[in-house]
Amino acid sequence: MESCHKFSFPLLTLLSLYMSFFVAHAEGSLTPRPFNNKITAAFVFGDSTVDPGNNNYVKTLFRGNFPPYGKDFRDHVPTGRFTNGKLSTDLIVSYVGIKEYLPPYLDPNLSIEELMTGVSFASAGSGFDPLTPQISSVISLPKQLEYFKEYKKRLQSAIGNRRTEAIIKEAVFLISCGTNDFVVNYFTLPIRRKSYTVSAYQQLVLQSFKQVLQDLWDEGARRIAVTGLPPMGCLPAVITLYSKNAILERGCIENLSQVGMEYNQMLQNELNSMQGRLAHLDAKITYVDIFTPLVDMIQGLGKHDFDEVSHGCCGSGYLEAGFLCNPGSFVCNDSSKYVFFDSIHPTEKTYINLFMANRPVIDSFIQD
């Protein structure tokens, strides 16, 4: 998870059995689709929380295609995912029954068959604010949308317009972005703060998001899920930068998390409004809450599932991320005991917990 400021007896037995089933399902072969859903493909846009390796093909320092990233992935391969294993989008496509892993669109080795079931266009370091991807030299949201248009043309050439339209119509579209706008951009660099108050900047980010949403709708997206911001003040790197004592006081920086909470409410209001306006056109536009379950994992009852909630598994866990988390870094033995893999991004265990917390939303989203 990327993010920036001045930069969620018998009952327990059943739950345990269910979690075991889900993890086995996520790791094993595809089983019958839940609700016999007709989802054809998944298309993903955003930042490092959903980038499976597009940045491998971009001239940027924001890459994760080296150890220890991927240490618990299939064959221990560092694919470019900024975590030890799978991303939430991998878990979702596996659960829905599309495929096991969602690949990066920029991988030149993808077959037409692989393309037909969906790809991620996301780029680590990106954001809704046009300035944010420029900071990191990564793929902007408008460029990600251009790649989607290019994707459609490639598919049309291979399988025809009618089949392509049928795939797009029944596909799910996922957007996970915005943290870098605040953590890497607004709160770290002075450029935006000179011109925008926090509330004004929240509106700028929201307006940029609305344009992305409208563009996706214009390109045929009808089932769109959007994640909110995480509790940004709980990211280990943010705690390190803003705590009065980065070693001894590792509690969340609440004022930064509050900014995310306020933005999330604005985002929900906008999504609800758009769903209301477009419901008669078969729209399914859904908000996915990652803030609440992450807070629970870090500050609530969920923290008992972890040994460490305030620093990452890689290196000291205080600041290392990206190239600072590298083959020479110390790495914890068991990533599943940590909420964060590096100082910004969640572990696969955290992504699994986020999936589980949002499964009712996902189930409703994929049903006809």
| Residues designated catalytic | 48, 342, 345
CA–CA dist 21, 75 (Å, integer): 22
CA 307 – CA 349 distance, rounded (Å) = 12
| Element containing residue 207 per DSSP (H, E) | helix 198-218
The DSSP code sequence of 266-293 is HHHHHHHHHHHHHGGGT-EEEEE--HHH
Q: Where are the beta strands (DSSP E) in 107-231?
A: 118-120, 172-176, 223-227
**Cα dist from 247 to 7, 54, 187, 251, whole Å:** 18, 35, 22, 10
Residue type (1 letter), 176: S
Buried b (16+ CB within 10 A) or exposed e, 282-319: ebbbbbbbbbbbbbbbbbeebbeebebbbbbbbbebbb
Q: Is the dihedral of CA 134, 140, 143, 144 positive or negative?
A: positive
Whether the Cβ atoms of residue 335 and residue 71 lie closer than 8 Å to each other: yes
CA pseudo-torsion sign 308, 310, 313, 318: negative
Q: 166 φ, ψ to 5°?
A: -65, -40
Q: Which two tokens stand for residue 337?
A: 């005991």
CA distance to 8, 147, 155, 238, 363, per residue, from 358 (Å): 10, 28, 31, 25, 9
CA distance between the termini of the chain: 30
Of the candidates 237, 232, 240, the residue with the CA atom closest to the CA atom of residue 259: 232
**Amino acid symbol at 201:** Y
